[in-house]
Amino acid sequence: MNTAVNIENIEKEIKELKQKRTSQLFLTWLRFKRNRLSMVGLSFVLVIIFIAIFAPLLTPYDPYDTNPFRRLENPSREHLLGTDELGRDLLTRLLYGSRIALQVGILIVLFEGFIGITLGLLAGYLGRWVDEIIMRLVDILRSFPVIILAMAIAGIMGQGLYNVVIAIGLVGWTTYARMVRGKILSIKESEFVEAAFSIGESTPSVILRYILPNVLPTAVIMICIMMPTALIASATLSFLGVGVQPPLPCWGSIAAAGRDYITRAPWISTSAGFFIMFTVLGFNFIGDGLRDAFDPTSKRN
Amino acid sequence: MTDILLETQGLKKYFNSPAGEVKAVDGVDLIIRQGQSFGLVGESGCGKSTLIRTILRLLEPTEGKVFFKGRDINSYRKNELLKLRKEMAMVFQDPHLSLNPRMTVFDTISRPLKIHGLARKKQELLVQIVELLHTMGMQAEHMVRFPHELSGGQKQRIGVARALAVEPDIIFLDEPTSALDVSVQTKILKLLEKARQERNLTFFFISHDINMIRVVADVMGVMYLGKIVEIGPKELLLSDPLHPYTQGLFQAVPEPDPDKIIQEVQLEGEVPSPINPPPGCNFNPRCPFVWDLCKEVEPMLKELEDERRVACHKY
């Protein structure tokens, strides 16, 4: 009798359903946008990404061109930040450095994120001896000072961009594993998972539809929050001389090289430090903003 | 007399803990008849929740049997278990926790329909979901909402709709109103009662709230420390409780009628640990009528007249 009404309703619902679907992500974006600091962070990072992509257009110099006659020059109209100890234009090297920084940073978070999230999932969901083994490994790795351990690994494997990624990632994954494991443990025990089993959901379906979607935001936020840590760690390794190899323009090694001329040309180390700080701050703000935006229950406006 | 729908025989569920075995459910014999509304009361931690989860096979029993429609469900394999999930449904205590926060109302209710092949096409799903929402006094527009966009009462109605979706024979309700406001509680209970009558359902309520059970149940059971101590028709049980624990429990509820004479059976002391229950009758350390036999021999559930059963040496 009222089926006609129903079908009309239904058609409307389908449309509404689709509208709401997209609006859910949109709402997250709105919440993110409302946070002023996260927008500042986003603009910082966009600037760095812009520099990384268009570095060759932003500067007329080559980051590897040395000029022994024009070493350690003061900032001038020709060389905005002066030249370094081999006569290379400092600003050019710093601009190109953003490429290395982003590349290393992204590779590190992807590498350690993949290991950490996978092992965290396994430990949290399977529990028992799997959990025991993974978490003891985490405990062991975390009992070392991170940088010392990464230095040891980099020292054994030799220098180079990929070795830096591996060295930092092999230590860094523990943070992800702990977070993801904790999250899974609380989700696994929650009533909605029990409810899922009570209506006849299979284990793979519960993992796929109930557990993973609830872990995903945590994982995304983790990756954004760990980005600055990864950047600092890689810069530190370069600064200590076990990171990215010197001819490559890397902020950490530029800062280290400038240290020898800190009284004569203080702008070398400080400007490299500024680039590191600028990028790290940007990612930090984004991470914090995302954390607030992703949590639909947080009521702190 | 109507058919027996569900029967448990000596059902036990023990958990291992560092301090020893926790006897959460310790030998429960129950009979639930078709169309009944059974209400089980007991203090927190007496094993009510564990009992229904063991019956539903969300937990595997340590010992004992559960017969559903005359068949032993503990022997069920995967396929039969899936069918059982269509015949038994559950409504959970806290609606804020029992819905997946990343699923819309539509997704939440469509899952059981899809799993049991009750609706395949989106159109069929929509028709059924709209119908279920209407049954629970909600509108079609609610199905695009996420749980955090609903009130506590609305969430619990979705929880009930999810349970009703599979057209089960019996629904287990684990304190379905304890997380809700009083005004909302009444509404939910009315909707449940209406659904029960329309769909010829059997309800199995568990609660620590005697007043709630008093409203919804026609047969009442009382559980203490993993065991059923008394079962009987609601009116008889309320007017003339037999077991000393039942008497004490009912007296803990404030009496609105000031002229009514109250017999003094005060519950004293704490519930003993289910890890190391006292020998004999579980209730003997707190019982005002305790005698030697109670400390040695465990009382069985004895059949009395009028469908009443009690586990006490007094009778």
Per-residue pLDDT of chain B (315 residues; tens, 9 = 90+): 568 888 888 888 888 888 778 888 888 888 888 888 899 988 887 888 888 888 888 888 888 888 888 888 888 888 888 888 888 889 988 888 888 888 888 888 888 888 888 877 777 788 888 888 888 888 777 787 888 888 888 888 888 888 888 888 889 998 888 888 888 888 888 888 888 888 888 899 998 888 888 888 888 988 888 888 888 888 888 888 888 888 888 777 776 777 766 666 667 777 777 777 777 788 877 877 777 778 777 888 878 777 788 888 877
Would the CB atoms of B100 and A191 count as touching at under 8 Å?
no
Q: Provide the pLDDT confidence category of residue A159 given band limits of 50, 70 and 90.
A: confident
Looking up tokens 């069920």 gives: B76
Instruction: Collect all residues of chain A within an 8 Å Cβ-Cβ radius of residue B97.
Output: 190-192
Distances (CA, A) of A122 to A118, A181, B86: 6, 8, 30
Closest residue in A to B99 (Cα) is A192
Cβ atoms of A118 and A126 closer than 8 Å: no
Instruction: Collect all residues of chain A within an 8 Å Cβ-Cβ radius of residue B173.
Output: none
Instruction: Collect all residues of chain B within an 8 Å Cβ-Cβ radius of residue A24.
Output: 146
pLDDT surpasses 60 at A5: no
- Mean pLDDT, rounded, for A100-119: 89
DSSP letter for B314, please: T
Would the CB atoms of A196 and B144 count as touching at under 8 Å?
no
Would the CB atoms of A198 and B89 count as touching at under 8 Å?
yes
Smallest CA–CA separation between A219 and chain B, in Å? 15
Tell whether the torsion through CA atoms of B130, B134, B135 and B138 is positive or negative: positive
Of A113, A104, A103, residue with least CA distance to A219: A113
Closest residue in B to A9 (Cα) is B140
Mean pLDDT of all residues belonging to chain A: 82
DSSP letter for A89, please: B
Instruction: Collect all residues of chain B within an 8 Å Cβ-Cβ radius of residue A296.
Output: 101, 146, 148
DSSP letter for B74, please: G
Instruction: Collect all residues of chain A within an 8 Å Cβ-Cβ radius of residue B92.
Output: 191, 194-195
Instruction: Collect all residues of chain B within an 8 Å Cβ-Cβ radius of residue A213.
Output: 100, 102-103
Of B142, B140, B170, B168, residue with least CA distance to B155: B142
For B266, the 3-state DSSP assignment is coil
- Mean pLDDT, rounded, for A96-105: 87
Distances (CA, A) of A183 to A111, A112, A294, B113, B194: 20, 18, 15, 29, 39
pLDDT surpasses 70 at A209: yes
Picking from B49, B78, B99, B126 by the largest number of A CB atoms within 10 A of its own CB, the best residue to mutate is: B126
pLDDT surpasses 60 at A1: no
Instruction: Collect all residues of chain B within an 8 Å Cβ-Cβ radius of residue A10.
Output: 123, 126-127, 130, 140
pLDDT surpasses 80 at A96: yes
pLDDT surpasses 60 at A191: yes
Q: Provide the pLDDT confidence category of residue A135 given band limits of 50, 70 and 90.
A: very high
Domains in chain A with CATH codes? 33-63+77-294 (1.10.3720.10)
Would the CB atoms of B56 and A10 count as touching at under 8 Å?
no
Picking from B87, B98, B167, B178 by the largest number of A CB atoms within 10 A of its own CB, the best residue to mutate is: B98
Residue A301's pLDDT is what? 36
Euclidean distance between CA atoms B163 and B116, whole angstroms = 13
Establish if A194 touches chain B: CB-CB under 8 angstroms: yes
Residue B254 tokens read as: 């404030």
Establish if A219 touches chain B: CB-CB under 8 angstroms: no
Would the CB atoms of A13 and B126 count as touching at under 8 Å?
yes
Instruction: Collect all residues of chain B within an 8 Å Cβ-Cβ radius of residue A7.
Output: 123, 127
CATH T-level topology, domain B36-46+75-217: Rossmann fold (3.40.50)
Euclidean distance between CA atoms A299 and A274, whole angstroms = 35
From first CA to last CA, the distance across chain A in angstroms is 48
Residue B312's pLDDT is what? 82
Would the CB atoms of A192 and B102 count as touching at under 8 Å?
no
Euclidean distance between CA atoms A208 and B280, whole angstroms = 49
Residue B68 tokens read as: 């559903």
> Which residues are B231's β-sheet partners?
B221, B309
Residue A4's pLDDT is what? 47
Angle, helices A267-294/A212-239, rounded to nearest 10 degrees: 170
Would the CB atoms of A194 and B92 count as touching at under 8 Å?
yes
Establish if A199 touches chain B: CB-CB under 8 angstroms: yes
Instruction: Collect all residues of chain B within an 8 Å Cβ-Cβ radius of residue A220.
Output: none
Picking from B50, B111, B113, B118 by the largest number of A CB atoms within 10 A of its own CB, the best residue to mutate is: B111
Which residues of B fall below an 8 Å CB-CB distance to A?
Answer: 53, 56, 58, 82, 85-86, 89-90, 92-94, 97-104, 106, 111-112, 115-116, 122-123, 126-127, 130, 140-141, 143-146, 148, 159, 162, 165-166
